[in-house]
Amino acid sequence: MKENPFASTQFERRKFRRANLNKWIMFSFCAALIIPLIAILVDIFVKAAPVISLDYLWLNPANKGKEGGLWAPLVGTFYLVIGSLTLVAPVGILAAIYLNEYAKEGILNRVIGIAVTSLAGVPSIVHGLFGLGAFVLVMLPAVNSVIGSPNDRASNWQAGLLTASLTVAVMNLPVIIASAREALGGVPQSFREACWNLGATRWQTIRTIVLPNSLSGILTGVILTISRAAGETAPILFTGVTFFKFVADAGWEKIFPYNPGEPFMAMSMHLNIISNQISQMPEGMKYGSAAVLIGLILFVNSFAIILRVWLRGRKRW
Amino acid sequence: MTNNQAPISRIHLTFLAAAVLSLALGGCGQKEPSAGGPSGGGSSKKTVEIRAKGSDTMIQLVTAWAEAYRKVKPNVFVNANGGGTGTGFASLQNNSTDICNASREIKKEESEKVKSVTGKEVKEFVVAHDALAVYSHPSNPIKEISIPELTEIWAEGGKFTTWEQINPAFTGKLTLFGRQNNSGTYDYFREHICGKTPDNRQREFRGGISEMNGSSEVVENVGKTPTGLGYSGMGYKTPGVSWLNVSIVKGGPSVEPGADAARSGKYPIARKLYLYTAGEPTGELKDFIDWILSPEGQKIVSKEGFVSLN
Amino acid sequence: MARLAAPLDSLLVMPEQVTNKSKRKFNFFDSIEKPTEWFIRLCGWSSIIGIAAIFLFIFKEAAPMLPRLDWVTFFTSPRWIPNPAPGNPASFGALALLVGTFTTTFIALIIAVPVGLGAAVYISEFAKGKVKETLKVVIELLAAIPSIVWGFIGLMVLGPLIKTVFTAAPGSWWGQVMVTLHLASAETGAAQGTNLLTGGVILALMAVPVIVSLSEDALRAVPDSFREAALALGANPWETVRRVLFPAARNGLLAACMLGMGRAVGETMAVLLATGHNNRIPAALTDPVRTMTATIAAEMGETVFGDPHYRVLFILGIVLFAITCSINVASDLIIKGVKKANKA
């Protein structure tokens, strides 16, 4: 019988098998990442299920968090996110515009680039130290010397929402710069050139062409910043978060419980404290707050993902 | 292209406007309560804020007082913060707290510092007793321990590293759980257990002790560790751990931590818990402290697992 | 490129354009062009200002202690007694903390580098369509989980698991194996469940998304012509990955791993909850340890502002800042090197 000259040789077959095996090994790495993760999340959500209800979100914590719900820390996290975003979003987006639209290739641009990466790599606890040194110990006394009187303690601001928001804002600056820069970079150069050729100035081009076309990308970055601000604990530890604070149970003061110069409660800190510092904390409450925090982050992030998918479907260049 | 582009960018701008608007609203909302908030006092009934800061051992107790006191006086907000006794005294100096909750007596330097900065004498209130219990795992057959043995276990240079050195009834390496180094519990235990060096200096703790951030963390970890040994306030006992009876000398009569033993001083590592104020308290602050010392406030002390004054 | 085209409009002022301009309605947004540009320029500097301010303020708080600190003790002694009894001298030996940080990071990298690179290669070269998109989304969600939640998972889920696995009756075969291999100490096993290994695994899970997404970028940056050339020479996909893509994307992959390491070194809340907070030099894989970040987080709230303990914690902050900054700058330089090489 004549051998098929195109049949793979022993060597080739072995090579192929090995290649296939390697592919499956790499797939199993992915699986090894994802399956336990899903198992853990399911475990947390299952253990949290008995306590989770609308009341759990709406009631204030009582008896050191052993009873009641999560309203006070939830609303604190909300204001922290809003506060830090108001501070960082404009600066970060404008910085990205500068880097992408104005800056010339050169040493300055390079230095800014390195500063952004370094800032992104600063450990969160070092951001916390910075917030303590800069905002709590230097900025607050300066603010108080203007708005407060030394004798009336109530008129002086303490470390609170303002200082914590500032700290988180600094921490999120590189995140927002990087994502906004990517979004701006995605706008084709030809769009800008077309606009310039119509006689528009650089600023007019940015305002009318570059920004509208990259807005969804920028928004995605902003959403990611939200999720990061909502989950961080270390930067706010010394800059204004507190373990327990009374929040009104009804009325407007329930919606706006904290003023910027007062310590506030936050979800991440709440989880930190109740998971290991309160005696005889019921398991359900621990898993409940973990599940709410995870749920919040995943919810916010899924917005970013949906937005991106939608953006990609719509993109015409 | 331009025709297609125009409506889309309008959608974008709507997005932007919505985002900016929500930010702006949020920003305003944030500032609103400063007028009518707890410390502002702008609303019809005057709200008063009392700040308490200090010992982590007492945070459980002070928070319970604070919650109960709101039923007595709804317009008084007591904000309790931990941070350690040392931090509490530091805050008393710079007037950032009204009350310092302390799990040890104030040191002379500290009271002098408060006086020199604020010009007021520190006022001390004993509000409860506490016994420091030595916790072990329920499966551990050893139920008694003496002070000299504890010294060998905890102090720097101590001889004991395994359970059989203490009592052959149990084997295994000692796994030690203590408190972090600025808590009053840490200070107190070091002073009363670690003893003195030959040249009459306080001995420090040995290395390799897991230093926990909170009293309940110590108890929880001991409950998870069969070879564990830890110290923490009596109020943090859970069903998951047992405590050791402590004797002053080896073989002497051992005493179980408890209310009467702590009050009478029979239990060797019992201490008082204090509140400190700068100067004589007045107004709402005085009322709050009086209420704590009243039978009603003391009932909460026993409910939280500490020892009431009487 | 972008920078060249813009100034043309100032050269080509056409007559009808001028008349157009004069006729045009007043537009508020156009009128603020100059101040806006200055403001944008200022914002562009913000990251430099930020990094300088961080350095300055941390340095300022630490400065009074810098000349007074016994640096030899700091780097060589594990005796960390920052708050001694009255009359005793304080001892700031951070060796155990440094060892804690580096051992947890090392374990994290041992796990995260192969898993991360493997997952990146799979996503970038093998996975297709829906699978690829799903994997990318999951990796992204993995990156979004906050560190405190990772700490919680370490404390509540992983810790008990590791404790069960690494605890055996003394004398049993598993006990023998563990003692010989330094997996656990003989008598206690993995005592509390929160220890070096738990912390390392948690840090690995946190570092993986960083490694995956950056490695994927690096692999994608390899021109397709490389893959096509390999294919034309008869290489199968795995051979392409190993002999063509890995060498070509070497620098990018290295940088990805370094940034993953940076994340592990600087992580705070997860290690605070999951490593057991024990100031000792570990002798076995499941001994509890304590890292620099966790020490700052646990003790800063407790210190009296301005005393030596407080300042030494800031010095720990400087050490961390220096480590992570050098990692970041180095990886940035490596990545930039890649881009230049690809352009050439």
Cα(C74)–Cα(C94) distance, integer angstroms: 5
Secondary structure, 3-state, C305-329? CCCHHHHHHHHHHHHHHHHHHHHHH
Dihedrals φ, ψ of B99, to 5°? -120, 135
Q: Would B165 be classed as within a structural domain?
A: yes
Q: Would B4 be classed as within a structural domain?
A: no
Segments forming the whole domain that contains residue A179: 54-314
Say if B209 is an interface residue toward chain C (CB within 8 Å): yes
A residues 216-255 lying closer than 8 A (beta carbon) to C = 224, 227-228, 230-234, 237-238
B58 and B113 housed in the same domain:
yes
Please state the ipTM of this predicted complex.
0.90
CA distance B251 to chain A (A): 33
DSSP alpha helix (H) spans, C63-195? 71-76, 95-121, 129-144, 147-153, 159-165, 173-180
Dihedrals φ, ψ of C261, to 5°? -65, -40
A163 and A266 housed in the same domain:
yes
Angle between helices A124-131 and C292-299 (to 10 degrees): 30
One digit per residue, the tens of pLDDT, for chain C of length 344 reads 444 444 545 555 454 444 455 556 677 777 777 888 888 888 888 999 999 999 999 999 999 999 988 899 999 999 998 888 878 888 899 999 999 999 999 999 999 999 999 999 999 888 888 888 888 888 888 888 999 999 999 988 898 888 888 877 667 777 777 777 777 765 555 567 788 999 999 999 999 999 999 999 899 889 999 999 998 998 888 888 888 999 999 888 999 999 999 999 999 999 998 988 888 888 888 888 999 999 999 888 777 778 889 999 999 999 999 999 999 888 888 877 766 655 54
B112 and B229 housed in the same domain:
no
A60 and A38 housed in the same domain:
no
Q: What's the token pair of residue B104?
A: 């040890």
Q: Counting every residue, how long is chain C?
A: 344
Asked if C163 and B224 come within 8 Å (Cβ–Cβ), the reply is yes
Say if C110 is an interface residue toward chain A (CB within 8 Å): no
- The three-point CA angle B111-B114-B118 to 5° equals 145
Q: What's the token pair of residue A288?
A: 């409940």
Q: Which of A161, A215, C130 is nearest to B8 (CA)?
A: A215
Q: Counting every residue, how long is chain A?
A: 317
Q: Would B12 be classed as within a structural domain?
A: no
Cα(C210)–Cα(A87) distance, integer angstroms: 26
pLDDT in tens, B81-106: 777 787 788 888 877 788 999 988 88
A37 and A124 housed in the same domain:
no
Q: Are B270 and B131 in contact (CB under 8 A)?
A: yes
CA atoms within 13 A on the CB side of A123: 35
Q: Counting every residue, how long is chain B?
A: 310
What is the number of domains present in chain B?
2
Q: What's the token pair of residue A171?
A: 């921490």
Cα(B203)–Cα(C88) distance, integer angstroms: 9
B142 and B258 housed in the same domain:
yes
A209 interaction partners in chain C (CB closer than 8 Å): none
Q: Would A227 be classed as within a structural domain?
A: yes
Q: Are strands A61-62 and A67-68 parallel, antiparallel or unpaired?
A: antiparallel
Strand partners, C301: none
Query: What are all long-range contacts of B194-200, with beta carbons under 8 Å and residues at least 24 apart?
Result: B194/B151, B194/B154, B194/B155, B194/B156, B195/B151, B195/B155
pLDDT band at A135 (very low <50, low <70, confident <90, very high): very high
Q: What's the token pair of residue A166?
A: 């500032």
Across A14-106, the runs of DSSP E, i.e. the strands, are 61-62, 67-68
A30 and A101 housed in the same domain:
no
A22 interaction partners in chain C (CB closer than 8 Å): 238
Q: Which residues of A39-63 are buried (b: 16+ CB within 10 A; e: fewer)?
A: ebbeebbebbeebbeeebeebbbee
Cα(A14)–Cα(B49) distance, integer angstroms: 78
Segments forming the whole domain that contains residue B249: 131-270
Q: Would B25 be classed as within a structural domain?
A: no
pLDDT at C262: 92
Q: Would B227 be classed as within a structural domain?
A: yes
Q: Would B120 be classed as within a structural domain?
A: yes
Asked if B67 and A63 come within 8 Å (Cβ–Cβ), the reply is yes
Q: What's the token pair of residue A21?
A: 């095996």
CA distance A249 to chain C (A): 27
DSSP alpha helix (H) spans, B32-58? 33-36
Q: Are A81 and A226 in contact (CB under 8 A)?
A: yes
Asked if B26 and A278 come within 8 Å (Cβ–Cβ), the reply is no
What is the domain-level CATH number for residue B158? Answer: 3.40.190.10
A34 and A136 housed in the same domain:
no
Asked if B228 and C305 come within 8 Å (Cβ–Cβ), the reply is no
CA distance B72 to chain A (A): 15
B251 and B213 housed in the same domain:
yes
Beta carbons within 10 angstroms of residue B17's beta carbon: 10
A35 and A120 housed in the same domain:
no
Q: What's the token pair of residue B24?
A: 């702006």
Neighbour subunits, C (≥3 Cβ pairs < 8 A): A, B
Q: Would A3 be classed as within a structural domain?
A: no
Q: Would A49 be classed as within a structural domain?
A: no
Between B74 and A128, name the one with better pLDDT. Answer: A128
Q: Which of B25, B39, B95 to mutate to test the interface with A (most CBs of A within 10 A)?
A: B39
For all residues of chain A together, what is the average pLDDT?
A: 87
Say if A246 is an interface residue toward chain B (CB within 8 Å): yes
Say what the pTM is.
Answer: 0.86
Say if C324 is an interface residue toward chain A (CB within 8 Å): yes
Q: What's the token pair of residue A238?
A: 């010394």
Asked if B33 and A257 come within 8 Å (Cβ–Cβ), the reply is yes
Cα(B289)–Cα(B101) distance, integer angstroms: 12
Dihedrals φ, ψ of C191, to 5°? 0, -75
pLDDT band at B17 (very low <50, low <70, confident <90, very high): very low
B201 and B236 housed in the same domain:
yes
Q: Would B13 be classed as within a structural domain?
A: no
Query: What are all long-range contacts of A59-63, with beta carbons under 8 Å and residues at least 24 apart?
Result: A59/A249, A60/A247, A60/A249, A61/A244, A61/A270, A62/B67, A63/B64, A63/B67
Domains of chain C from N-terminus onward: 70-343 (1.10.3720.10)
